[in-house]
Amino acid sequence: MNVLVPLPFVLPLLGAVLAVIARGRLLWLRVLCPLVAAAGVAASAALVAFVARDGVLAVQMGGWGAPLGITLVADRLSSLLLVVSSTVLLAIMLHAVGEGAGGQEAGVFYPTYMTLTAGVSLVFLAGDLFNLFVAFEVMLASSYVLMTLTPTGERVRAGMTYTLVSLTSSILFLTALGLTYAAAGTVNLADLSTRVPDLPGATRTALGLLFLVVFGIKGAIVPMHLWLPDSYPVALTKITAVFAALLTKAAVYSLIRVETLVFPREHASWPMLVLAAGTIVVGTLGALTHDDIHRVFSFILVGHIGYMLFGLALFDVAGLTGAILYLVHHIVVQAALFLVSDLIQGYTGETSLHRLGGLAGLSAFIAVLFFIPAMSVSGVPPTSGFVAKLALFQAGVGSGSVLAYAVTGVAVVGSVLTLMAMSRIWTLGFWRPRPDDVEEPTASESYTSGGVRLMQSVTAVLVVAGLLIAAFAGPLASWSRHAASDLVSGDDYRHAVLDGGNP
């Protein structure tokens, strides 16, 4: 069933074209784009089923065989992330439909959003470094347009910062790609996995570090994170939800794929462990120093990238299993948190904790929608965050590395700091009465219309999805463990790409 492999990328690309054609017809955009996105979810789900049955699926686009052709590959990791990401992208699109963007904004938003969806899908499917680079450039172009949608001075400034940092990482990516081709004579990931081990040790180390920097910038790993808390909070919240849920995770996925397949290690990587610990500490401490909900969530995002890097840094099945579980959990929960903050901002016109209060009395439903993912991202049992963190903690303790023990302790402290940050939002924003010097909150027009029901429903679906991750932790952990074993081995991936694999 190799014909299914390109569909998660082709369908949103087709949707973008159709959205451009239908730019002047708002109703068409609001119906057509979600339908195409839903078809992408169905295609991704079918891909998961066929990967489970047949193993790794690979297709060579354009009729050229590997390693010369454009290779798209679906394995347990990529297919799982495709179905999760496409579901979250559909949910955020429906949230935007409920918010009621119209006119010129809708004519720009929908085709650009579909293009971004195609870029995210291509990241997960790319079987060579060049097309991985192309996928990130598609995401960069789309994300800049979305970030500066309904432009203000602050958004344009943040958009310029975001673009300059992204272009810097893209230049480094292109440099790494060229150096890799010069050293190994190929950019196909499966082919590289057979050639890179024969390169001199210094060359392998230099290339590995260069890719770590490239994806470290894109994934906001400390100390390459400063652009994220500065740019994400100023974009429209529905846009920030996409960025927080998926753009950084695309970089983490790429780092996992390249480091395990092309630069495998037999022991834990101490530089990555140090970076993971630093990322956890800086992100979670940063969340405690800010009063704007969006900035708090942005720093939480940075801190929790460190947990995923921790799992990768162990370079064993247990660590990678934890990293995969954490990826799935965080994509869903982070999107839910930002959509909840959008509801809060829509109802009150505020995101500052100094001016918020009494939200639990204003809307008990929104209070519940916030409380569940807040506890999940903090790792409180029995949420999905607890399941993912427990897997990482067990992997860290079981690695036998003293440094891994230390990072495990840092990760535990990071969970406590995250809980403190979430509790602070709950206490000041939801539990205490509204400050006397703050006027009665006034909901925006879109939040007094029927569209708010769709926005609340979509947010609730993501919150429930986070609970389902915990409820079905056993099957998900089993799938993640098999995916991690495939990453450590790499044999099935190489066989599917270089030897023709499954029909």
Q: In the predicted model, is pLDDT for residue 234 greater than 90?
A: no
Q: In the predicted model, is pLDDT for residue 440 greater than 80?
A: no
Mean pLDDT of 372-377: 96
pLDDT, position 294: 93
| Per-residue pLDDT tens digits for 159-180 | 888 889 999 999 999 999 999 9
Assign residue 104 a region: left if phi > 0, alpha if psi is -120 to 50, beta otherwise? alpha
Q: In the predicted model, is pLDDT for residue 184 greater than 70?
A: yes
- Output the six-digit token pair for 390: 């427990």
Mean pLDDT of 38-60: 94
- Output the six-digit token pair for 291: 């009063």
pLDDT, position 307: 97
Residue 237 to residue 296: CA distance in whole angstroms: 13
pLDDT, position 383: 94
32 touches 19 (CB < 8 A)? yes
Predicted TM-score (pTM) of the model is 0.94
- What is the three-state SS of 7-68? HHHHHHHHHHHHHHHCCCCHHHHHHHHHHHHHHHHHHHHHHHHHHHHHCCEEEEECCCCCCC
192 touches 266 (CB < 8 A)? no
Q: In the predicted model, is pLDDT for residue 473 greater than 90?
A: yes
**Residue 85, burial from CB neighbour count under 10 angstroms (0-12, 13-18, 19+):** buried
**Confidence band, pLDDT 50/70/90 cuts, at residue 363:** confident
Q: In the predicted model, is pLDDT for residue 414 greater than 60?
A: yes
**Residue 451 CB coordination number (10 Å):** 17
Q: In the predicted model, is pLDDT for residue 444 greater than 60?
A: no
**Side chain identity at 262, as an amino acid letter?**
V
pLDDT, position 235: 86
**Confidence band, pLDDT 50/70/90 cuts, at residue 388:** very high
pLDDT, position 346: 84
**Side chain identity at 82, as an amino acid letter?**
L
- Output the six-digit token pair for 234: 């100023």
| Per-residue pLDDT tens digits for 399-411 | 888 999 999 999 9
Residue 229, phi then psi, degrees to nearest 5: -65, -15
pLDDT, position 379: 94
Mean pLDDT of 356-373: 90
pLDDT, position 104: 61
**Cis peptide bond upstream of 223, omega within 30:** yes
pLDDT, position 350: 84
Residue 471 to residue 269: CA distance in whole angstroms: 33
Residue with tokens 């790409």: 497
Residue 286 to residue 303: CA distance in whole angstroms: 9
Non-local (6+) Cβ contacts of 266 within 8 A are 315
Residue 438 to residue 440: CA distance in whole angstroms: 7
Residue 73, phi then psi, degrees to nearest 5: -130, 135
Helix, strand, coil in percent for the chain, rounding step 5:
80, 5, 20
| Per-residue pLDDT tens digits for 246-281 | 999 999 999 999 999 999 887 888 999 999 999 999
DSSP element (H, E) containing 71: strand 70-74
| Per-residue pLDDT tens digits for 60-103 | 887 777 677 789 999 999 999 999 999 999 999 999 998 876 55
Residue 236 to residue 290: CA distance in whole angstroms: 19
pLDDT, position 1: 65
Q: In the predicted model, is pLDDT for residue 215 greater than 80?
A: yes
Task: Calculate the average pLDDT of the chain.
Answer: 91
pLDDT, position 343: 92
